[in-house]
Amino acid sequence: MNVKQATSVRDLCTNCAYCKSAIKCPGELYCVACGACIEACPQSARIFIETEKEVEKYNLLIDGDIYTVLENQTILKVLESLGYKISSHSHDAQIYAPCKTGGCWSCAVLVNGELKPSCITPIEDGMEIVTDIDNITPMRIVSGFQGHHVGGVGTPKNIEITSPFGYIEVACFTSGCLYRCPTCQNWQVAYLSNSEALTPKVAARKLTEVRKQYRVNRMAISGGESTLNRKWLVSLVSNLKFLNPDSLARIHVDTNASILTPDYIDELVNAGLTDIGPDLKGNSVETFMKITNLKDQELAKRYFDTSWNAVKYILDNHYGKIFMGVGLPFNKEFMTLTELEEMGNKLANWEPDLQVTVLDYRPEFRAQHIERPSVHLMKNVKEILSSTGLTSVICQSIYGHIK
Ligand code: FES
């Protein structure tokens, strides 16, 4: 029968080998068409082809029932074909699978007693799969535990630097994202699945250790999209709070806020969150779709609305008790200065003292055709946003932050 297999287009592939080093793949000869390497290839050189293959039948024990299915599939695809409710936007589905590249582990199931991400794990004959993991400790791919001299969107601009080495905070980076931004600045992390998955307790211990090592008060969780695996993130924040009971400790989450509903925000704040940096990608769904490369307009609108609503909800309910700084990505290729000004007007109207950081989106990942905004343009951006009444505007530029 014909099966799908991922392969590289020779003229486009630069042999960077990211698809081999970063992606947890059972191998080219045993491609199960999960698609993770296609999403992750910075050159867009990976494609699916159809190929003739003899396909065996496997018996699987899923939630206590035996099923006979064809090999060469991921667990997620099998579950979907058996009628399990899979969703890329709702935690209420039986399986929530937002990144589909093996990083967030929201889609994890028990495989022969071990937690594994269903979206990239191939089926094997005789496998036992359990989908109800409510009582199992969540895990997630998280990496890069180290100190940073520059903070994130949710770092207050005038914080006192206590580290004798000039570090502002320590951070870790969660894998997996539900956006597909061609300008992704953290794509090595966003698509990383071939790394160790950690429980919240172990991740909290590691971040606490580096906090002591770098002698800082701030601990940041960034990504990828940090909020995807809700149970994992809430547990990480409460574990950090437990391990860092001193009043100077700050627990900071950077996020695109696409799934950050009021109940989720409250849960994070109750767990110990002190600082948050949501990104707002445009003032219209059209711009949002250009930046994120999402193709489903309904889904894009849901994420767009949720992110703006999250900022308003935090301002109305938590601002002052926790710190919030908002990020606005900018490049004239996908946003006009008029749209940026509209965003400034909206935010200034809500809270003029809100810290706003404009990120100069540049030709990283797949957007090699765009230019990084010039320093002159970013100075202009700063003037425009300040004229809306915002009192705390920071603009990222090639020569550092314009404050
Ligand atoms: S959806 Fe499977 S790891 Fe994120």
| Structure-token pair, residue 29 | 């000869």
Ligand 1 centroid from CA 387, angstroms: 42
Ligand 1 centroid from CA 233, angstroms: 15
E strand segments, 108-242: 108-111, 114-117, 128-130, 140-148, 169-174, 197-198, 218-223
The domain locations on the chain are 2-52, 57-130, 140-402
Which architecture, in CATH terms, is 57-130?
A: Roll (3.10)
Residue 98 CA: nearest ligand 1 atom is 1
Give the CATH number of domain 140-402; options: 3.50.50.60, 3.20.20.70, 3.40.720.10, 2.70.40.10.
3.20.20.70
Within 6 A (CB) of ligand 1 lie 97-100, 102-107, 117, 119, 176
Omega into 224 within 30° of 0, i.e. cis? yes
pTM above 0.85, yes or no: yes
Residue 176 CA: nearest ligand 1 atom is 4
From first to last of the 403 residues of the chain, give the pLDDT tens digit.
888 889 888 889 999 999 889 999 877 678 999 999 999 999 999 999 888 888 899 999 999 999 999 998 999 999 999 999 999 887 778 999 999 999 999 999 999 999 999 999 999 999 999 999 999 999 999 999 999 998 889 999 888 777 788 899 999 999 999 999 999 989 999 999 999 999 999 999 999 999 999 999 999 999 999 999 999 999 999 999 999 999 999 999 999 999 999 999 999 999 999 999 999 999 999 999 999 999 999 999 999 999 999 999 999 999 999 999 999 999 999 999 999 999 999 999 999 999 999 999 888 888 888 999 999 999 999 999 999 999 999 999 888 887 7
Ligand 1 centroid from CA 76, angstroms: 9
Give the pLDDT confidence of 146-169 residue by residue, as tens digits.
999 988 899 998 887 777 888 999
Residues 292-306 as b or e (16 or more Cβ within 10 Å = b):
bebeeeebbebbbeb
Q: Is the dihedral of CA 95, 96, 98, 104 positive or negative?
A: negative
Q: Do domains 57-130 and 140-402 have the same CATH topology?
A: no
Closest-CA residue, ligand 1 atom 3, reads 102
DSSP bridge pairs for 219:
170, 251
Ligand 1 centroid from CA 118, angstroms: 7
Residue 107 CA: nearest ligand 1 atom is 2
Q: Where are the alpha helices (DSSP H) in 171-328?
A: 187-190, 200-214, 230-243, 262-271, 285-292, 297-317
Ligand 1 centroid from CA 243, angstroms: 28
Residue 102 CA: nearest ligand 1 atom is 3
Residue 100 CA: nearest ligand 1 atom is 1
